Amino acid sequence: MSTIIIQHDDCLRHNPGAKHPESALRIKAVLNGLKGLKNLQRLPAPLATHQQITRVHPAEFWASLEAMEPSKGLVAIDPDTFLNQGSIAAARRASGGLCFAIDQILSAKALRAFCVVRPPGHHCEAQQAMGFCLLNHVAIGALHALEKPGIKRLAIVDFDVHHGNGTQAIFEQNPNVMYVSSHQLPLYPGTGHIEETGCGNILNLALAPGDGSKAFRKLWSKLGLPAIHSFEPDLILVSAGFDAHQRDPLAQLELQDADYHWITEEICDLATDSCGGKVASILEGGYDLKALASAGRAHVQGLVG
């Protein structure tokens, strides 16, 4: 079975401003980085349905977010997070793309998937858009998957340099979802400390500014991957942020392309043991275009195997 790449041009329409680091160029950089790779099938991301979105986000929140989208210009949710005409469609494609990828995997039409979509999602809480994020796509995908036969519990792996506060908050009292995150501390949003354990389903792997490959691989090898293995998930979802890369301007970790290939291979090996190899990944952060292209390529090479 092939690895599928999920994308849609609607994700290029979200424009939080000319100088904003979260631009449509990010999608183009990742797709350019995948050129020449074999065993990939590209499929369009559908729009997330109201039911898929409101499993995570209350209907009132979603309605108010839709109503905020302007006919022209920008509307600020916070100093980092904006809506323009097209933002809602982009967010729906991102959430819908992950749900679709999960459906393709669970129906044995693909083994693995990478959703090259934006805006990112893991900072968005159930009732609060923030941190560039309008909807929490990985949470929407997780609750969509848990509705499917054979998926009783799943793991979310997050190696974005920023802690996924929204994902943690949504699932910290849900024993059917394990959330494991490596991230830099101190750094936005300030959550992700080791003592934040939820109902025993949350594991935070904090890295200090300047930490690089050795520290990253040690934490995942000694703590993160064994915890997921013990959890025995029926599916693994990945919040794939590439802003821990040494080239990224928004953080101070020193990861390299090889580290993204390594962690992806480790995740896929773990998935082979626990859930028949089923892994669905979605793009989160990453704000250096060259790093996005090369690290995204390394990630997909790890998915293909």
Residues belonging to the active site: 123
The type of residue at 198 is G
Task: Answer whether the bond into residue 120 is a cis peptide, omega within 30°.
Answer: no
Tokens of 98: 């992950």
Calculate the alpha carbon distances from 107 to 101, 104, 138, 150, 188 in Å: 10, 5, 19, 11, 38
Calculate the alpha carbon distances from 245 to 152, 210, 215, 242, 301 in Å: 34, 11, 14, 6, 17
Residue 29 C-alpha from the chain's centroid: 17
The span from the CA of 254 to the CA of 44, in Å, is 33
